[in-house]
A and B are shown apart, each in its own frame.
Chain A
Amino acid sequence: MSSSGREGKIIKQLTWNSRQKDTIIALLFLVPSLAGFTIFYLLPFGAGFVYSLMDSPTQGSFVGLDNYRQLLQSASFRQAAINTGMFALISVPLVMTISLAVSIMLNRVLPFRSWLRAAYVMPLVVPVASIVLVWQLLFDRSGAVNALLSAWGISATDWMNLSWARVVVLLVFLWKTIGYNMILFLAGLQNIPKEYYEAASLDGAGAWRKFFSITLVCLTPTSFFVLIMSIISSFKIFRETYLIAGDYPHESIYFLQHYMNNMFQALDYQKLTAASFLMAAVISVVVMILFGFERKFHNNTK
């Protein structure tokens, strides 16, 4: 008895030591990444938060949430925040629906299937800057879209200088993002066992019924991920908008990133840090809520 107890203790000791050793080795492998990540992201992030509570980055004094209060009172910030939020609310469901539709259509035996797939993925690798000119030629006041419309007797519209600019930016976003989402959905569709559909057919379920009770349900984990990635890409549309329309585009496509860039150029670090922390906080909260839902769903299906 006592000897086996001792053995147990020794084994415990051994495993403890090997676990400790594992931890140390793991940390050694992490050191390069963690060091850089801390120096270039985490530490300055913390410092930035402190700056957002001061009245000047050098020898400033603590002003609490004053910068945030001023920020929220700024009309251009509010406009930018509303635009960014609205754009995400509209573009994300739209891009998800279209990409799901495309991937369901592609998920069967078709002629030239891999060529079609390649065409949808292509915009992912095409550098934004190289395509901007085409977008300008299409949607400029004297652009090709207006040329076509005027041939039909419709008068020219200055697309980029009206609220229509939103639609143009939305089109660019869809063009750029469908490929990524489609690949994720295709992978998800291929993981659904064929037997589910066969069983449902035997029970006499129609195509829509199968879509709602099998496809959508089985795709939930994929859709969750596509949702997060689409939200993130909707914030990245700034790059395209900036290249097409510059620092100060029409107010309907003036996004938070424009605001922050312009605050940076104006050396207004207080508003800039406050705005970036507010944005980070909102994104974190949204993502955590989504993760919470996902976990709940995951536990329910288990």
Chain B
Amino acid sequence: MKASIKSSILFIVLLVFAMIMIFPLIITVTNSFMTESEIVFNYGMGKEIDGFVNLKWIPDLVSLEQFKALLFDRMQFLIMFWNSLLLVLPIVLGQAAVATMAAFALSQFQFRGRDSLFFIYLMTMLMPFQVTLVPNYLAMDWLGLLNSRASIILPGIFSAFGVFLVRQFMIGIPHDYVEAAKIDGAGYWAIFYRIILPMSRPGIAALVILVFVDNWNMVEQPLIFLQDAYQQPLSIFLSRINEGERGLAFAAAVLYMLPMLFVFLYAENDLIEGIQLSGVKG
């Protein structure tokens, strides 16, 4: 009896807390079905308004006006969406390829300097973006890649995070598999491709999700490396639309987070496993 009261209280506390966590999400989704004029009426054009904003849960008039404007009337939004994909997909694919190979070497082989090398990767991963900003900028300048997508994609591919995460997974795979395969006469590439990669599927899935999320959100890199407005990804566009065209901002935000929400619903368990992996020691 006492235990059930206690767990009901806990449940309610957790529920209220959870509501607060998803509140911004819910508001964004419901408001995306408002008409432009209702948004401007309630929230103003962006700058000063008289009195206070009137934060509303439910639109007076449910409409797809915002979505229609973004998807059909203005090319800009779709172009930016495409820009985001052009930046994020190469980074995710490239990092998955490069990082799995490096992680294989750092987890299934013994060689001198292995742990020091891993430590260097780890420390680099811990640095805020601004610390690697100057190095990245200098490298891009030397290579003549400033103001091109490559200046964001290349450092993205070689970011230390992927190596770290996949290594954490592969270190848990016993060496016996490699040894047994060697005795059977398998080459190293076959061991990597046929044995280790399939066994690391959950780790790689987690990597793909976390890297996708992180880069879909990128803000600093395009601000610094891409001067041309037409190359900017959606993350930058959105922060501008909030000020200029508030009437469309909610639908833009919903469309922008849609890929992420799909990824989350589809692969929540992989994501959670990936985060747990990042905490594995060794």
Q: Which residues of A contact B (CB under 8 A)?
A: 19, 22-23, 25-30, 32-34, 36-37, 39-45, 47-48, 51, 102, 105-106, 108, 110-111, 115-116, 118-138, 140, 142-144, 146-147, 150, 156, 175, 178-180, 183-184, 187-188, 221-222, 225-226, 228-229, 232, 235-236, 238-239, 242-243, 256-257, 260-261, 264, 269, 272-273, 276-277, 279-280, 283-284, 287
Contacts and interface: CB of A to CB of B under 8 A. Distances in A.
Complex A-B, nearest 8 residue pairs according to Cβ-Cβ distance, in ascending order: A44-B135, A36-B158, A33-B102, A130-B253, A147-B52, A119-B18, A26-B109, A144-B55
B21 A123 contact: yes
A228 B13 contact: no
Interface string B1-36: 000000100110111011101111101100000000
A28 to B, nearest CB: 8
B104 to A, nearest CB: 5
Interface in B229-271: 234-236, 238-239, 242, 246, 249-250, 252-254, 256-257, 260-261, 263-264, 268, 271
Contacts of A39: 139, 158
A143 B213 contact: no
B102 A110 contact: no
A283 B188 CA distance: 38
B264 A183 contact: no
A149 to B, nearest CB: 10
A102 B13 CA distance: 9
A143 B257 CA distance: 24
A225 B133 CA distance: 26
Given A106-B14, A140-B53, A277-B131, 12 more contacts: A26-B105, A26-B111, A41-B135, A44-B137, A44-B139, A105-B14, A118-B268, A125-B264, A126-B24, A130-B252, A133-B28, A239-B217
A45 B234 CA distance: 30
Contact of B242 (A124, A136, A235, A236): A136
24 contacts: A30-B102, A30-B105, A40-B155, A40-B158, A45-B132, A48-B138, A115-B18, A119-B19, A120-B17, A126-B257, A129-B219, A133-B246, A134-B28, A137-B43, A143-B53, A147-B52, A147-B55, A150-B52, A188-B279, A225-B279, A239-B220, A261-B224, A272-B134, A283-B126
Interface string B101-135: 11011100111101001001101101111111111
Given A40-B135, A133-B250, A142-B53, A25 B11 contact: no
Nearest to A84: B128
Contacts of B200: none
Contacts of A222: 279
B128 A134 contact: no
Nearest to B261: A125
Contacts of B126: 228, 232, 283, 287
Nearest to A182: B275
Contacts of B129: 236, 257
Interface of B: 7, 10-11, 13-15, 17-19, 21-25, 27-28, 43-44, 48-55, 97-99, 101-102, 104-106, 109-112, 114, 117, 120-121, 123-124, 126-139, 154-155, 157-158, 160, 163, 188, 192, 213, 216-217, 219-220, 223-224, 234-236, 238-239, 242, 246, 249-250, 252-254, 256-257, 260-261, 263-264, 268, 271-272, 275-276, 278-279, 281
Contact of B132 (A41, A143, A146, A239): A41
Given A29-B101, A43-B139, A122-B264, A23 B111 contact: yes
Nearest to A179: B21
Contacts of A29: 101-102, 104-105, 109, 188, 192
Contact of B249 (A33, A111, A133, A260): A133
Contact of A280 (B11, B127, B236): B127
A45 B135 contact: yes
A129 B238 contact: yes
